[in-house]
């Protein structure tokens, strides 16, 4: 089980690197979120910001799963069995968001 | 990871599926934890997707602005949008980092290291929970509950123009952050049990710190979920 | 009491069967040799008998129930649905007959014999590819046909439609017609519901003035009709079996369905030779104790008769005296702010 | 290397440990709080049978109501008590409770826990060559969570309000408006989910990690493949149901409005927000649809195995069978909203669901054709389990094909929530899954209890069940096409529906006879456990799989010596003149694997 000193240092470095990346991304996210103050109701700008936020969140999720949870170092087959089922959620997300929009319209129908 | 590297050397990738060995080079306990987390991820995803659907149903126009809802800080008062929640995020991330360190020390069979870092992890968890308790108390104090809507003053504190949000916002907020908080609480409890076991040398006798690794996975998962909760409630 | 007797008889028969079964297995056991061949032959023959009698019973049942399943469709899109049904029936029918025959026939034909050797036949790519691709093609065809019809049925109603509103509540339907002006008055919200305002009509909306509540559904033949479906308490489902129309009534949101009736009740009665025939409205989503009693009669009449019927109805506002009390008050309010009468007021 | 093998060694050690402890086993450790997967399987089976009797009895009672409306049922008063109106008819609320409990019990407690719980526990370690499950402790907990769920559900039958009455789908706001019965229902199912998830984790990791030497994934019997993907489906879909339930529980108890909007109930205005009941429908069916595959996949696996063993012929197209199970698993997560075509959902979203739904017919068709090709030119011993398996295939064809009608949104407008759908799912996931379960119990009964089940009784039961099931459900298609809605207490009010009164009576009578014969089967089951003919040889059916290499009554740990090593796939029947070649027999010099064997020259 015990790692060589060199490997141990390497893993430690990877973790601290990931920590810094997570912190920076979070700071940037929060900084940009403050822009909502002025642009909260402008849909085009909001959309762009939302896309950015989602991307940034996915980056953070990647570092947590890959480095902290160590998935990057596991066998590929295992990573695949864990990540593939997440695909089902994407269709659930798309379907339910489309439904949400359509419910909104059906409620708006009578005002 | 030692497990992984060793087995890769021992067997070429092609015949790891031939039986008589673990194809992922991972013991069943860790595998179970991973699949449990996958399953739990579906619960959280269902919550967050429901949040999305309800938000679209209510409509963007009357959805509250996070910068206005969450602009309080203990002692300092109002007018610091997202500051407190950023602090919570950092606490959780740091706690997660401490956990990785504990797991790494566990692999090195370094009991003292594990005690140190696992101790920090638990403190981080408790700090996060305290922050969340403060935030909840603050929001409830300001009138947002499961059955009464969020209100805030549009032009900042003292401006007088009151915005009344939809009921759904508070309900979703308390449900989802509550469910996350429940996971953090469970995590702290489990971490504490494992911590005591480390102190009493249970794993030293067993000659492996696998249990630390397993609860570590759970703890990172809690962090992972927070990233998405953070996205849903504070950033979008 | 009879039921109790029947149960007693069934129990008795069961006990007898139990005894027979026990002894027959016991005899086999004593004789020591299990006649596997004879047993398989008997069961195999039974399978063939079941197959033959099954198909005879199937044909007889189709003959017996002819005209009762999929009753004559009474709407335009009903024909579309029936066409899709028959198409699916054709393909599935072929598959059904072929596979059932093969299954039972093979089980009979290749039943156990001491001297028979089974064939070692684990794979055949050609066969497998064939029975992957053929169903896929047939299904693609069904999907395309089905979705074309689906989009036609769920498309927006034409402009000259007649609109009416059906609100489900435990356990009845409230039917609201737009009256002479052809426009339904807006709803003010469920908090306005009271014995004198059954669905919470917004009395400030002038088009609500001539709306009337009908006891039964009356509609003209040949005109597009849009139903706006609402629910007050739990989910109901607006179901007109003869018109092939079903749409859930969901509390909080308004669902819609449009259709064109193609046959009047009188014509249908003549066709069926049943003077008591009526089209019916039912609830198709479990809604509680009275789920099976949410019935309304649907009468399809000629457009002239329909117009006459609409004119003969008393507006709901008059029945409950809504305008006498409320309208002047509201006008006074509006004159202050200058908003028109039909402005949105919650 | 040593690390990797710890899993195996761990179980070796544990098995030895248990064998050593065997002398100290008392009643509690042997039959109740046992960690032996075989005993846990039996616990699941017997609890499942208990619920099956209750669930089926409920269906008989509501069939009485439908077949003989307004009949005097006062003779049922000792059982039904206050649920009968003073004039002896069934109370409509109780009718709703009966259909709700019938659905819940049979779908979850019998066909999920009783079927996959039994066979996953029993077969996985035995057929892949493992001493026990990866975590015997969690396995035990899985049963006891199920038991807890059972106790709560059973208790809910006796509370004053009566059990849940909202249909097994429990759509809000109807379920929101109900009393304690629904509370207990939700609580019970939450524990049930815990049981399923614990079990599923165990099944998956056991299959991945604990296979014996040589047992590669593509040497596993189809039962294991089916149970594996069943566990995967359960693991991924049940959590979403839990999320849906939590929101519903909050709506019921904390005053939230996730699924509620402004309502008027009994003239009373309830001030709520802008929730949508359709959201619950989505969350429910995200489980609800995969659930039907949780029910049918184990039966499919069992039937493949039984047909192959008894016709002494390899399963045709083994790989195609595996990949069709995989395809069904994947597609099952993409099609849930085909239960909601007329719920007011967006028609465009609906059309995508049509596309995915009808695609499922392709792997299903492959499986049916492969089964038929399996028995073609076999040497079929028409044992009871073979008969059940043939009955399964017949039922699966009949019920599967009607799915093509229902998956087509256009046709579904007419058929949704009518007796057509009742007929469809009863045939395909009710009767078919039960026939698969019967086949499995008959086939593995000698391994479970060391005795045979009574054969003559089984034949009788089979024929009555098959013929009865067709007689019950076939006419329901006609009723459904005419639009007769399901969950109706009475059809008297409607001209269009009451015309089928005679048919309803007929169906009810047949249903009662079929129910009586299910009791016969249960009697056979318990009689055979204690008095059945003893098994003399360890491999009575001449099968190749590993479970038949264990002693007749295997102890905890399954194999007394080493776990046997595996050299070939599980379906080497009638290969090179041998009737069957067990998986433990090494390949001969120059022997071809099944994928490489050329097709026979004369295919006629």
Q: Which residues of D touch A1 (CB under 8 A)?
A: 3
Q: What integer pLDDT is reported at residue D8 of this predicted model?
A: 43
Alpha helices in D315-418 (DSSP H): 318-332, 347-359, 361-375, 384-406, 409-415
Q: What integer pLDDT is reported at residue C337 of this predicted model?
A: 36
Q: Which residues of D touch B10 (CB under 8 A)?
A: 1, 4
Distance from CA of B145 to the nearest CA of D (A): 9
Is residue B16 one of the residues assigned to a domain?
no
Q: What integer pLDDT is reported at residue D316 of this predicted model?
A: 92
Chain A contact for D259 (CB, 8 A cutoff)? no
What's the burial of B112, exposed, middle or buried (CB within 10 Å: 0-12/13-18/19+)? exposed
pLDDT at A39 over 80: no
Q: In Å, how far are C313, C324, D293, D379 from C177, measured between CA atoms?
A: 10, 21, 45, 70
Across chain C, mean pLDDT equals: 86
Q: Give residue-wise pLDDT tens across range D161-180.
A: 889 998 999 999 999 998 88
Chain A contact for C227 (CB, 8 A cutoff)? no
Quote the percentage of chain C above a pLDDT of 70.
Answer: 91
Which of A12, A43, A53 shows the shortest C-beta gap to B104?
A12
Rg, C-alpha atoms of chain B:
22
Is residue D432 one of the residues assigned to a domain?
yes
> What are the backbone angles phi and psi of residue D381, rounded to the nearest 5°?
-80, 115
* pLDDT class of C7 with cuts at 50, 70, 90: confident
Q: In Å, how far are C206, C209, C331, C342 from C338, measured between CA atoms?
A: 16, 21, 10, 12
Q: What integer pLDDT is reported at residue C32 of this predicted model?
A: 62
Q: What integer pLDDT is reported at residue C147 of this predicted model?
A: 94
Q: In Å, how far are C85, D277, D352, D357, D415 from D347, measured between CA atoms?
A: 19, 17, 9, 15, 17
The Cα–Cα gap between C46 and B20 comes to: 46
Nearest CA among A59, A39, A60, A63 for reference residue A49:
A39
DSSP string for residues in D79-106: HHGGGB-TTSPBPHHHHHHHHHHHHHII
Q: Region C62-67: what's the mean pLDDT? A: 88
User: How many beta carbons lie within 10 A of that of residue D77, not counting itself?
Assistant: 12
Report DSSP state, residue D430. Answer: I
Nearest CA among C296, C153, C186 for reference residue C238:
C296
Q: Region D23-31: what's the mean pLDDT? A: 71
Collapsed DSSP state (helix, strand, coil) of residue C173:
strand
Which of C15, C146, C155 to mutate: most D Cβ within 10 Å? C146
Q: Give residue-wise pLDDT tens across range C167-190.
A: 999 889 999 999 888 888 888 888
- Total domains in chain D come to 1
The Cα–Cα gap between D246 and D284 comes to: 12
User: How many beta carbons lie within 10 A of that of residue C67, not counting itself?
Assistant: 9
Query: Strands C296-301, C217-220: parallel, antiparallel or unpaired by DSSP?
Result: parallel
- Total domains in chain B come to 1
Q: Do D278 and A96 touch (CB under 8 A)?
A: no
Q: Do C131 and D418 touch (CB under 8 A)?
A: no
Q: Residue D576: closest CA among chain C residues belongs to which residue? A: C120
Q: What integer pLDDT is reported at residue B157 of this predicted model?
A: 62
The Cα–Cα gap between A33 and A52 comes to: 10
Across chain B, mean pLDDT equals: 88
The answer to whether B101 and B113 are in contact (CB under 8 A) is yes
Q: What integer pLDDT is reported at residue C124 of this predicted model?
A: 87
The answer to whether D138 and D201 are in contact (CB under 8 A) is yes
* pLDDT class of D284 with cuts at 50, 70, 90: very high
Q: Give residue-wise pLDDT tens across range D496-537.
A: 899 999 999 999 999 999 999 999 999 999 999 998 889 988
Q: Which C residues in the span 222-251 are in contact with D, Cβ-Cβ below 8 Å?
A: 229, 232-235, 237, 239, 241-242, 244-248, 250-251
The Cα–Cα gap between C250 and C233 comes to: 9
Chain C contact for D600 (CB, 8 A cutoff)? yes
DSSP string for residues in C235-284: -EEEEEGGGTEEEEE-BTS-EEEEE-B-S-HHHHHHHHT-TT--EEEEE-
Q: Which residue has the higher pLDDT, D119 or D537?
A: D119
The Cα–Cα gap between D435 and D416 comes to: 26
Q: Which residue has the higher pLDDT, D574 or C345?
A: D574
Q: What integer pLDDT is reported at residue C326 of this predicted model?
A: 52
Helix (H) or strand (E) holding D227: helix D222-253
pLDDT at D239 over 50: yes
Paired residues of D90 in beta bridges? D84
Q: Do A99 and D345 touch (CB under 8 A)?
A: yes
Q: Kindly tell me the number of DSSP H helices and DSSP E strands found in chain D.
A: 20, 4
The answer to whether C17 and D454 are in contact (CB under 8 A) is no
The Cα–Cα gap between A53 and C40 comes to: 68
Helix (H) or strand (E) holding C21: helix C2-31
CATH of the domain at B108: 1.20.120.80
Q: What integer pLDDT is reported at residue B76 of this predicted model?
A: 82
> What are the backbone angles phi and psi of residue A35, rounded to the nearest 5°?
-65, -25
Across chain A, mean pLDDT equals: 86
User: How many beta carbons lie within 10 A of that of residue B6, not counting itself?
Assistant: 16
User: How many beta carbons lie within 10 A of that of residue D78, not counting itself?
Assistant: 7
**Parent domain of B155:** 29-235
The answer to whether A54 and B52 are in contact (CB under 8 A) is no
Distance from CA of C108 to the nearest CA of D (A): 9
Is residue B21 one of the residues assigned to a domain?
no
The answer to whether D324 and D366 are in contact (CB under 8 A) is yes
Q: Which residue has the higher pLDDT, C100 or A35?
A: C100
Q: Which residues of C touch D375 (CB under 8 A)?
A: 103, 106-107, 110
Q: What integer pLDDT is reported at residue A33 of this predicted model?
A: 84
pLDDT at A20 over 70: yes
pLDDT at C76 over 60: yes
Query: Strands C172-177, C162-169: parallel, antiparallel or unpaired by DSSP?
Result: antiparallel
Collapsed DSSP state (helix, strand, coil) of residue D579:
strand
Q: Residue C4: closest CA among chain D residues belongs to which residue? A: D75
Q: Do B7 and D4 touch (CB under 8 A)?
A: yes
Chain C contact for A16 (CB, 8 A cutoff)? no
* pLDDT class of C344 with cuts at 50, 70, 90: very low
Q: What integer pLDDT is reported at residue B69 of this predicted model?
A: 83
Q: What integer pLDDT is reported at residue C342 of this predicted model?
A: 35
Q: Which A residues in the span 49-88 are in contact with B, Cβ-Cβ below 8 Å?
A: 50, 53-54, 57, 60-61, 64-65, 67-70, 73-75, 77-78, 82, 85-86
Q: What integer pLDDT is reported at residue A50 of this predicted model?
A: 87
pLDDT at D18 over 80: no
Paired residues of C194 in beta bridges? C197
The Cα–Cα gap between C301 and C307 comes to: 10
Query: Strands C236-240, C279-283: parallel, antiparallel or unpaired by DSSP?
Result: antiparallel
Q: Region C55-65: what's the mean pLDDT? A: 93
pLDDT at B14 over 80: no
Q: Do D258 and B35 touch (CB under 8 A)?
A: no
Q: Residue C201: closest CA among chain A residues belongs to which residue? A: A110
Q: Which residues of C touch D260 (CB under 8 A)?
A: 251-252
Q: Give residue-wise pLDDT tens across range D308-350.
A: 999 999 999 999 999 999 999 999 999 999 999 999 889 999 9
Q: Kindly tell me the number of DSSP H helices and DSSP E strands found in chain A.
A: 5, 0
Chain B contact for A36 (CB, 8 A cutoff)? yes
Is residue B54 one of the residues assigned to a domain?
yes
Q: Region D350-357: what's the mean pLDDT? A: 93
Is residue B9 one of the residues assigned to a domain?
no
Is residue B5 one of the residues assigned to a domain?
no
Is residue D32 one of the residues assigned to a domain?
no
Is residue D308 one of the residues assigned to a domain?
yes
pLDDT at D601 over 70: no
Which of B6, B18, B33, B57 to mutate: most A Cβ within 10 Å? B57
The complex scores an ipTM of: 0.92
Q: Which residue has the higher pLDDT, B177 or D81?
A: B177
Q: In Å, how far are A57, D94, D109, D195 from D150, measured between CA atoms?
A: 42, 20, 8, 11
DSSP string for residues in D321-341: HHHHHHHHHHHHTT-GGGG-T
Q: What integer pLDDT is reported at residue B152 of this predicted model?
A: 83
Distance from CA of C346 to the nearest CA of A (A): 9
Q: What integer pLDDT is reported at residue B56 of this predicted model?
A: 92
DSSP string for residues in D46-68: HHHHHHHHHHHHHHHHHHHHHHS
Q: Residue D281: closest CA among chain B residues belongs to which residue? A: B50
Is residue B121 one of the residues assigned to a domain?
yes
User: How many beta carbons lie within 10 A of that of residue C194, not counting itself?
Assistant: 12
- Walk me through the domains of chain C, giving residue ranges and CATH numbers: 34-112+124-154 (1.10.287), 162-331 (2.60.40.420)
Q: What integer pLDDT is reported at residue A73 of this predicted model?
A: 86
Q: Do B179 and D246 touch (CB under 8 A)?
A: yes
Q: Kindly tell me the number of DSSP H helices and DSSP E strands found in chain C.
A: 8, 10
CATH of the domain at D424: 1.20.210.10
Tell me the torsion sign for CA atoms D454, D456, D457, D460: positive
Task: Write b or e for each residue in D443-477: b if 16 or more Cβ atoms lie within 10 A of its Cβ, otherwise e.
Answer: bbbbbbbebbbbbbbbbbbbbbbbbbbbbbbbbbb
pLDDT at C332 over 50: no
Distance from CA of A100 to the nearest CA of B (A): 4
Q: Which residues of B touch D246 (CB under 8 A)?
A: 47, 175, 179
Q: Which residues of B touch D272 (CB under 8 A)?
A: 167
pLDDT at C336 over 80: no
Nearest 10 degrees: CA dihedral of C158, C160, C162, C168? 30
Q: Cis omega before residue C164 (within 30°)?
A: no
Tell me the torsion sign for CA atoms D56, D62, D68, D74: positive
**Parent domain of D117:** 40-580
The answer to whether D518 and D465 are in contact (CB under 8 A) is yes
The Cα–Cα gap between C333 and C316 comes to: 24
Q: Do C255 and A106 touch (CB under 8 A)?
A: yes
The answer to whether D357 and D335 are in contact (CB under 8 A) is yes
Chain A contact for C252 (CB, 8 A cutoff)? yes
Q: Do A40 and B65 touch (CB under 8 A)?
A: yes
* pLDDT class of C324 with cuts at 50, 70, 90: low
Q: Cis omega before residue C121 (within 30°)?
A: no
Quote the percentage of chain A above a pLDDT of 90.
Answer: 48
Is residue B100 one of the residues assigned to a domain?
yes
The Cα–Cα gap between D94 and D4 comes to: 57
Q: Region C225-230: what's the mean pLDDT? A: 94
Contacts of B226 (CB under 8 A, 6+ apart): B89, B92, B180
The answer to whether A21 and A66 are in contact (CB under 8 A) is no
Is residue D591 one of the residues assigned to a domain?
no
Is residue D373 one of the residues assigned to a domain?
yes
Distance from CA of A94 to the nearest CA of D (A): 9
Q: What integer pLDDT is reported at residue B8 of this predicted model?
A: 39
Helix (H) or strand (E) holding B93: helix B83-107
Chain A contact for D333 (CB, 8 A cutoff)? yes
Q: Which residues of D touch B175 (CB under 8 A)?
A: 246-247, 250, 256, 258
Which of D134, D201, D258 shows the shortest C-beta gap to B36?
D201
The Cα–Cα gap between C52 and C75 comes to: 39
Q: Give residue-wise pLDDT tens across range D395-409.
A: 999 999 999 999 999
Q: Residue D204: closest CA among chain A residues belongs to which residue? A: A81
Is residue B147 one of the residues assigned to a domain?
yes
Q: In Å, how far are B47, D192, D492 from B44, measured between CA atoms?
A: 5, 19, 47
Query: Strands C162-169, C225-231: parallel, antiparallel or unpaired by DSSP?
Result: parallel
Which of D232, D278, D334 shows the shortest C-beta gap to A103?
D278
DSSP string for residues in C176-224: EE-TTTT-PPPB--GGG-BTTBTT-B-TTSGGGTT-EEESSEEEETTS-
């Amino acid at each position: 089980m015990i790692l060589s000193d060199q490997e141990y240092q390497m893993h430690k470095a990877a973790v601290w690197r990931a920590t810094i990346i997570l912190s920076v991304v979070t700071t940037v996210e929060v900084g940009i979120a403050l822009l909502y103050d002025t642009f909260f109701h402008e849909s085009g700008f909001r959309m762009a910001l939302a896309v950015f936020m989602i991307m940034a969140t996915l980056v953070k999720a990647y570092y947590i799963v890959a480095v902290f949870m160590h998935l990057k170092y596991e066998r590929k087959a295992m990573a695949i069995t864990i990540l593939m089922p997440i695909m089902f959620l994407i269709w659930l997300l798309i379907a339910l968001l489309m439904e949400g929009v359509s419910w909104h319209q059906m409620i708006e129908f009578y005002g | 990871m030692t497990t992984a590297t060793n087995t890769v050397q021992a067997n070429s990738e092609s015949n790891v599926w031939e039986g008589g060995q673990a194809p992922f080079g991972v013991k069943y306990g860790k595998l179970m934890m991973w699949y449990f987390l996958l399953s739990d991820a579906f619960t959280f995803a269902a919550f967050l997707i429901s949040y999305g659907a309800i938000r679209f149903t209510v409509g963007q126009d009357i959805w509250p602005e996070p910068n206005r809802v969450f602009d309080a800080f203990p002692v300092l008062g109002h007018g610091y949008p997202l500051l407190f929640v950023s602090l919570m995020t950092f606490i959780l991330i740091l706690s997660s980092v401490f956990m990785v360190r504990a797991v790494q020390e566990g692999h090195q069979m370094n009991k003292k290291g594990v005690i140190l870092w696992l101790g920090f992890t638990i403190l981080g968890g408790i700090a996060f929970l305290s922050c969340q308790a403060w935030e909840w108390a603050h929001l409830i104090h300001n009138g947002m509950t499961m059955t009464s809507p969020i209100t805030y003053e549009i032009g900042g504190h003292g401006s007088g123009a009151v915005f009344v949000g939809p009921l759904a916002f508070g309900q979703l907020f308390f449900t989802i952050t509550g469910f996350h908080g429940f996971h953090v609480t469970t995590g702290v409890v489990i971490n504490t049990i494992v911590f005591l076991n480390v102190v009493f040398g249970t794993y030293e006798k067993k000659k492996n710190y696998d249990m630390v690794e397993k609860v570590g996975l759970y703890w990172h998962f809690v962090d992972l979920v927070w990233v998405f909760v953070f996205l849903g409630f504070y950033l979008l | 009491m009879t039921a109790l007797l029947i149960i007693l008889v069934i129990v008795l028969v069961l006990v007898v069967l139990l005894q027979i079964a026990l002894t027959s297995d016991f005899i086999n056991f004593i004789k020591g040799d299990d006649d596997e061949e004879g047993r398989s032959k008997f069961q195999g023959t039974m399978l063939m008998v079941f197959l033959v009698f099954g198909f005879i019973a199937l044909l007889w049942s189709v003959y017996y129930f002819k005209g009762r399943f999929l009753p004559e469709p009474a709407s335009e899109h009903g024909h579309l649905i029936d066409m899709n049904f028959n198409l699916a029936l054709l393909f599935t029918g072929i598959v059904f007959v072929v596979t059932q025959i093969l299954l039972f026939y093979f089980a009979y034909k290749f039943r156990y014999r001491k001297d028979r050797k089974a064939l070692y036949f684990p794979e055949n790519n050609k066969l497998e590819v064939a029975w992957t691709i053929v169903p896929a093609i047939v299904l693609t065809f069904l999907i395309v046909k089905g979705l074309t019809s689906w989009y036609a049925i769920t498309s927006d109603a034409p402009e000259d439609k007649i609109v009416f509103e059906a609100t489900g509540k435990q356990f009845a339907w409230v039917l609201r017609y737009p009256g002479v002006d052809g426009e339904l008055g807006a709803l003010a919200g469920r908090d306005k519901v009271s014995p004198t305002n059954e669905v919470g009509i917004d009395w400030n909306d002038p088009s609500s003035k001539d709306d009337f509540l009908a006891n039964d559904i009356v509609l003209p033949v040949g005109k597009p009709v849009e139903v706006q479906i609402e629910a007050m308490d739990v989910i109901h489902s607006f179901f007109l079996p003869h018109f092939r129309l079903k749409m859930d009534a969901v509390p909080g949101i308004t669902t819609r369905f449009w259709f064109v009736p193609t046959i009047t009740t009188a014509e249908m009665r003549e066709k069926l030779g049943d003077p008591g025939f009526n089209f019916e409205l039912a609830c198709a989503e479990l809604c509680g104790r009275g789920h099976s009693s949410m019935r309304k009669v649907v009468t399809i009449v000629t457009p002239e008769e329909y117009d006459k019927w609409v004119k003969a109805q008393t507006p709901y506002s008059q029945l409950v005296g809504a305008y006498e009390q409320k309208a002047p008050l509201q006008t006074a309010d509006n004159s202050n702010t200058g908003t028109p009468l039909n402005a949105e007021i919650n | 290397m040593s690390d990797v093998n710890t899993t195996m060694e761990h179980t070796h050690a544990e098995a030895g440990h248990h064998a050593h402890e065997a002398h100290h086993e008392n009643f509690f450790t042997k039959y109740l709080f046992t960690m032996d997967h075989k005993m846990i399987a039996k616990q699941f089976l017997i609890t499942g049978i208990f619920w099956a009797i209750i669930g089926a009895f409920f269906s008989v009672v509501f069939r009485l109501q439908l077949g003989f409306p307004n009949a005097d049922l006062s003779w049922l008063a000792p059982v039904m008590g206050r649920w009968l109106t003073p004039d002896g008819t069934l109370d409509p609320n109780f009718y709703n409770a009966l259909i709700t409990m019938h659905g819940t019990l049979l779908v979850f407690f019998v066909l999920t826990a009783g079927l996959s719980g039994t066979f996953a526990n029993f077969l996985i370690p035995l057929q892949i060559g493992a001493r026990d499950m990866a975590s015997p402790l969690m396995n035990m907990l899985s049963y006891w969570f199920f038991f807890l769920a059972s106790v709560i559900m059973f208790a809910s039958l006796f509370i004053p309000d009566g059990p849940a009455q909202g249909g097994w789908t429990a759509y809000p706001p109807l379920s929101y408006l109900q009393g304690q019965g629904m509370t207990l229902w939700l609580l019970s199912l939450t524990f049930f989910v815990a049981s399923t998830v614990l079990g599923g984790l165990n099944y998956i990791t056991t299959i991945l990690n604990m296979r014996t030497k040589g047992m590669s994934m593509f040497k596993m019997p189809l039962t294991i493949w089916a149970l594996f993907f069943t566990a995967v489906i359960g693991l991924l879909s049940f959590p979403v149901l839990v999320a849906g339930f939590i929101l519903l529980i909050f709506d019921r108890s904390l005053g939230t409005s996730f699924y509620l909007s402004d309502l008027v109930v009994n003239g009373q205005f309830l001030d709520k927000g802008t929730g949508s009941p359709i959201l619950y429908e989505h969350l429910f069916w995200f489980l609800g649809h995969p659930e039907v595959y949780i029910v049918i996949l184990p039966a499919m696996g069992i039937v493949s195995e039984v047909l192959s063993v008894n016709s002494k012929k390899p399963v045709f197209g083994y790989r195609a069978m595996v990949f069709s199970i995989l395809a069904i698993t994947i597609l099952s997560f993409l099609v849930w909203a085909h239960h909601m075509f007329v719920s007011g959902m967006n028609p465009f979203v609906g059309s995508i669901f049509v596309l995915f739904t009808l695609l499922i017919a392709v792997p299903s068709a492959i499986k049916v054709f492969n089964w038929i090709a399996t028995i073609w030119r076999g040497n079929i011993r028409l044992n009871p389990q073979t008969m059940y398996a043939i009955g399964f295939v017949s039922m699966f064809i009949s019920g599967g094909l009607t799915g093509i009608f229902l998956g087509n949104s256009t046709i579904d407008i007419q058929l949704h929530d009518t007796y057509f759908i009742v007929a469809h799912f009863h045939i395909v996931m009710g009767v078919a899954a039960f026939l698969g379960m019967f086949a499995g119990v008959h086939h593995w009964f000698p391994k479970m209890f060391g005795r045979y089940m009574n054969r003559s009784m089984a034949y009788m039961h089979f024929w009555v069940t098959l013929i009865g099931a067709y007689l019950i459900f076939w006419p329901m298609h006609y009723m459904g096409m005419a639009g007769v809605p399901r969950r109706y207490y009475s059809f008297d009010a409607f001209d269009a529906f009451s015309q089928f009164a005679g048919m309803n009576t007929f169906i009810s009578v047949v249903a009662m006879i079929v129910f009586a014969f299910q009791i016969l089967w249960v009697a056979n089951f318990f009689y055979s456990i204690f008095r059945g003919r003893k098994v003399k040889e360890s491999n009575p059916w001449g099968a190749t799989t590993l479970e038949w290499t264990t002693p007749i009554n295997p102890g905890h740990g399954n194999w007394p010596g080493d776990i046997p090593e595996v050299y070939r796939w599980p379906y080497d029947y009638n290969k090179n003149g041998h009737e069957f070649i067990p998986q433990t027999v090494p390949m001969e010099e120059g022997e071809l694997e099944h994928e490489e064997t050329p097709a026979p020259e004369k295919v006629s």
